[in-house]
């Protein structure tokens, strides 16, 4: 599975990074971005939580 953060929608709340620091981190624009191309199966549950917690629905899963 893959994830992507829509940079236009991210409001830098930090929820995804708190919930799943192995997959999300801040970028140089102080927005969240994914730091892995492929999410390992053991992290998928955390990523689902991050997707559901994002206040602007900026994270998409593929
Ligand atoms: S939870 Fe959503 S709005 Fe908050 S930092 Fe992550 S991508 Fe941005």
Atom 8, ligand 1: residue with shortest CA distance: 10
What's the domain count of the chain? 1
Instruction: Determine if the pTM surpasses 0.85.
Output: yes
Instruction: Find the Cα–Cα–Cα–Cα dihedral 56, 45, 27, 4, rounded to 10°.
Output: -60
CB 5 near ligand 1, within 6 Å: yes
CATH number of the domain where residue 40 is located: 3.30.70.20
**Do the beta carbons of residue 32 and residue 16 sit within 8 Å?**
yes
State the distance from the centre of ligand 1 to the C-alpha of 1, rounded, in angstroms.
Answer: 19
Distance 11 CA to ligand 1 centre (A): 6
pLDDT tens per residue, the chain (62 residues)? Answer: 999 999 999 999 999 999 999 999 999 999 999 999 999 999 999 999 999 999 999 999 98
- Could you give the count of Cα atoms lying within 13 Å of 40 in the half-sphere of its Cβ? 6
CA 42–ligand 1 middle distance (angstroms): 21
Range of the domain at 33: 3-61
Q: Residue 51 and residue 14: Cα distance in Å, rounded?
A: 12
């Amino acid at each position: 599975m893959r994830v992507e953060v829509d940079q236009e929608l991210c409001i830098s709340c930090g929820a995804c990074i708190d919930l799943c620091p192995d997959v999300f981190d801040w970028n140089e624009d102080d927005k969240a971005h994914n730091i892995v191309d492929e999410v390992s199966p053991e992290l998928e549950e955390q990523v689902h939580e991050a997707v559901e917690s994002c206040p602007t629905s900026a994270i998409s899963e593929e």
